Amino acid sequence: MFKFMKLIKLNSNIKYKIIAVLICCILLTLVCLFQQSQNSIINGQMKRPEPGEEDLSTQINVLDSSGKVITTMDLTIKPRTLTETEVFEYFDRAYDEIIKVMCGNNKGLECVRENLVFPDMAQNGIISLDWYTSDYQLVNYDGTVNNRGFERDESREVTIMPVLEYGDYRRECEILITVLAPDYDSGTWTRIQAQNEVNSAIDSSGELSDINLPMIIGGNKVSYEEDNDNISPFIIICMGAVIIFLLVFIERDKEKKRLITRQRELTYDYSEVISKLTLLLGAGMTTRMAWHKISDDYNIKRQEGAVKKRCVYEEMCETDCNMQAGISEAMAYEQFGKRCNTREYMKLASLLQTNIKKGTRELRRLLENEAYDAFEKRKNMAKIKGEEATTRLLMPMLLMLVIVMAVIMVPAVTSFNM
């Protein structure tokens, strides 16, 4: 073969592929020969599966004398049936298997503290089992052991009756076991004993109005108290302190936010107030008359519902009422600046006081400069508010973007999968 490949001058890769194909052909040939040698039909005889094995499913061809196929049949052959002698031998072996298996986690059948194991089949499924017990309340048909109410040294004997069956053959057995109390520690036994004695005292005094609970349990003197889930006074005091702290904190936070909002509103309205004062002073009014005119116009519009409540105009109205009540004009302006408590209004109050005391002739020019600065500051504040509004709208915009993408992508992906 190799001399032939050298003669035709094949490269190494082709040589290896040819060798691999030859090896596969040889292996497949051997497998076919092995399967033919394993033919289950020899001289018209087929081998039936042994007991415990699965059913044999095969397909056979029925041939005539010339080797022509008459028919093809699918067969399912069940395992061989045991003879009577074999059945009783299997019963004996199944009984020995049951004794070993049914103990489970117990040390032995004479010391049963935990659940038993009751299998349904034995001897690899050849023998079927049914289970019966002499005391179903103590040992259930599924092997559950109900020994929770046992005393510490209590024990009971129970007869377990497994029924072995194979076809029409049947054997009933009896297995004697001893059920002991669970293997608890001393503390658990004390608790169980206390529960049993208290329940016994309650059950035995059903006709009496008063129940006499046992005062000695397990040789120890005991006392009783009602287990009420009442809240401790200390917890109530702590909860009250926490609530008060939260209320104070929330109130201070609200007050802080209110002051910040008020200060922003005062600063925002400053340019408007200065502009009105400058306009009225330029029209020939005195400071007192201009102040009263602005306050009076605000009250009229407020009563008509044309404007909302504004902090600076409320303070101006209060200042006007103070001057009408007899407070000096200079003092009223000073109190106005302190109530507003901002740098701009304190400066305005100072200018008005100076005008009253020294008769400053340049008040209008100073107010015009102040109005210009206030208007620039108001524009900056409006710009900041716009940026804050844009920031607040960022999250809703992102949510809308996600929704739009989902509306577009979900139908596309669904149609692609289909």
Contact 286, 331 (CB under 8 A): no
Neighbours of 87 (CB within 10 A): 22
Model pLDDT, residue 7 = 40
- Give Cβ neighbours of residue 313 (< 8 Å, ≥ 6 apart): 269, 294, 295, 298
Please state, in angstroms and rounded to a whole number, the distance separating the CA atoms of residues 391 and 11.
73
141 three-state secondary structure: coil
User: Could you give the CA distance from residue 185 to residue 206 in angstroms, rounded to a whole number?
Assistant: 33
86 close to 103: Cβ distance less than 8 angstroms:
no
Please give the pLDDT value at position 4.
44
pLDDT of residue 3: 45
Pairwise CA distance, residues 44 & 67, whole Å: 14
CB 176 within 8 A of CB 159: yes
Among residues 115, 120, 96, the alpha carbon closest in space to that of 177 is found at: 115
Half-sphere exposure for 201 (CA within 13 Å, toward CB): 14
Structure confidence at residue 164 (pLDDT) = 92
**252 against 374, higher pLDDT:** 252
Average pLDDT over residues 260-264: 85
* pLDDT greater at residue 246 or residue 360: 246
> Lowest mean pLDDT: which of 32-46, 219-233, 397-411?
32-46
Phi, psi of 153 (to 5 degrees): -105, 15
Query: Contact 222/190 with Cβ under 8 angstroms?
Result: no
Comparing 79 with 293, the larger pLDDT belongs to 293
Bigger pLDDT: 63 vs 328? 328
**Taking 60 as the threshold, does the pLDDT of residue 207 lie above it?**
yes
pLDDT in tens, 128-160: 999 999 888 888 888 888 887 777 778 889 999
140's tokens: 């259930």
Mean pLDDT score, 317-323 = 90
Q: What is the largest CA-CA distance in the chain?
A: 146
The pLDDT-based confidence of 5 (bands split at 50, 70, 90) is very low
pLDDT at 163: 92
∠ at Cα 186 (183, 192), nearest 5°? Answer: 80
In tens, the pLDDT along 38-95 reads: 555 555 666 777 776 777 777 777 776 677 777 777 777 777 778 888 888 888 999 9
What is the Cα–Cα distance from 18 to 10, expressed in whole angstroms? 10
Segment 400-412 shows an average pLDDT of 87
Q: Note whether 63 and 34 are within 8 A (CB).
A: no
% pLDDT > 90, the chain: 4
